[in-house]
Amino acid sequence: MAKLLLISLSLCFLLLFHGSLARQRQDLCRLDRLRALEPDQRIPCEAGMIETCNPDHEQFRCAGVAVVKPTIRSSGLLCKNMDQQQKQQVTSYRRGDIIALPGGVPHWHYNNGNEEIVAISVIGTADNIVNQLDNNPRNFYLAGNPVNKFANQYERLFEHGQQQYFLRTLGQQGSCNNVFCGMGVNLTSEVFNIDPELASKLIAEDDERGHIVRVNGKFDIVTPMSNSQGENEQYPIGGDESFCTLKMKANIADPSSTDVYYPGVGGVSNVNSHNLPILELLQLSASRVVLHKDTMMLPIWNTNADSIIYVEKGDGRVQIVDHEGRSVFDSKVTEGQVLTVPRSYVASSRAQSDILEYVVFKTNGNAITYSLAGRTSVFRALPVDVITNAFQISEKDARTFKFNRVEHLLIKKND
């Protein structure tokens, strides 16, 4: 599965996991109306909370993704897939980091700061070699007894005659939800050459702490040192060089990395396979948009990627037109909402609060984006005579239409 995670508040980073997002779209993307969605399931944990959106919603099915929002409190340890190997890479992250991991790689996250970390994780669920059973999100837990984040979804599918084997397996194992539960005490003891008491602790059948547990006392692990540029170094600890030496993160919130910037208007930053090559393997990328009050992102569309918009801060208005020229969304969006924009749908946004910040996750490592208006728009590339005849307007009007908007992507209202 491919997965992308945005952490906001004092820290902000994006996390992506490997997975090809190729799929059959004809029956999944016939969307007459789009909606700005919010998490509809909340799972409390000892040191935080996990929130999820229903992955069976038609918008997520179209994009081939699921969305999870973990909140990690200070001294919280997110036990996603705990590492039982000796080979690992330890790295620190900061606000705006994109962290990329191949699917199925064991990983964990520890909050060693004083403030909460809030993340948005976009998981690729489309047909691929990592999630090959079906398009439903699933996690493989090596430790703890976390609640299945998408349990309600599986139950609903079961009522429609799907996922029968998966649910029966869960029922046989009771409430336990890690790999050792199925192995049992005897096999676990034999495999790891440990006594049954320790094996029972690993099975953790009575552990009710959830996905995010509190670390009591010192968290004793080797961490990267900062270099002279203030960046955290990455290095393997007994690691496999083919994986642990890969560049696996890039920052999307650093002002120095902004691709488009207009003072008092806003900016756009991109992370894709060009500046983080591993994203070519993952087939995921991201953009971050910052708009000041009464500024607008000109209409754009992607030809080879669906977009998942997460509103990180502020309020705004988004308008979306589908490939048949129908308005499918024209409404306010607020902090914490998620909105899917299928490929070939034209979308524009404007800030209604003092500042609007949102992140766009794209289902391609190098999404091809076109502008409808502005200095680099498709109409700028068309001859005046083509515009004149296509729209039945005068040559003067065609030139005005083609050249009047000189900005690129971002404009101030009434500019």
Backbone phi and psi for residue 21, each to the nearest 5 degrees, phi listed first: -105, 25
Is residue 151 assigned to a domain? yes
- Looking at the structure, do residues 48 and 164 belong to the same domain, yes or no? yes
In a domain, 314, yes or no: yes
Q: Residue 338 sits in which domain range?
A: 251-412
Is the residue at 258 inside a domain?
yes
Question: DSSP H helical segments within 77-163, as ranges?
Answer: 151-159
CA distance 279 to 191: 36
Reference 6, options 148, 126, 119; nearest CA is 119
**Contact yes or no for 365/376 (Cβ under 8 A):** no
**∠ CA 188-191-194, rounded to 5°:** 70
Q: What is the pLDDT of residues 257-273, one digit of tens each?
A: 899 999 999 999 999 99
Could you read off the pLDDT of 273-296 as tens digits, one per residue? 999 998 888 888 999 999 999 999
Whether 275 and 399 map to the same domain: the answer is yes
CA-to-CA distance for 246 and 236, rounded, in angstroms?
10
3-state secondary structure of 396: helix
Instruction: Give the H or E element holding residue 331.
Output: strand 327-333
Gap between the Cα atoms of 276 and 98, Å rounded: 9
> What average pLDDT does the chain have?
79
Q: Which residue has the higher pLDDT, 399 or 14?
A: 399
| Spatial contact of 262 and 244, defined as CB atoms under 8 Å apart | no
Number of domains in the chain: 2
pLDDT greater at residue 116 or residue 28 = 116
Write down the pLDDT at residue 254.
86
Residue 118 in tokens: 């809030």
Among 214, 234, 268, the domain boundary falls at 214
Name every residue whose Cβ is closer than 8 Å to that of residue 401 and which is 6 or more positions away in sequence. Answer: 379, 387, 391, 393
Higher-pLDDT residue of 348, 84: 348
Tokens 């170094």 belong to 233
User: Which of residues 89 and 41 earns the better pLDDT score?
Assistant: 41
Residue 291 vs residue 65, higher pLDDT: 291
Contacts of 253 (CB under 8 A, 6+ apart): 12, 95, 96, 269, 288
CB atoms within 10 A of CB 192: 14
Q: Does residue 266 sit within a domain? A: yes
Could you tell me which residues come within 8 angstroms of residue 102 by beta carbon, excluding any fewer than 6 positions away? 17, 18, 243, 278, 281, 282
Q: What is the pLDDT of residues 160-212, one digit of tens each?
A: 344 333 333 333 334 577 778 888 899 989 999 999 999 888 888 778 888 88
**Does the pLDDT of residue 48 top 50, yes or no?**
yes
* Per-residue pLDDT, 339: 96
Same domain, 394 and 265: yes
Same domain, 270 and 391: yes
Q: Among 64-68, 105-109, 243-247, 274-278, whose mean pLDDT is lowest?
A: 243-247
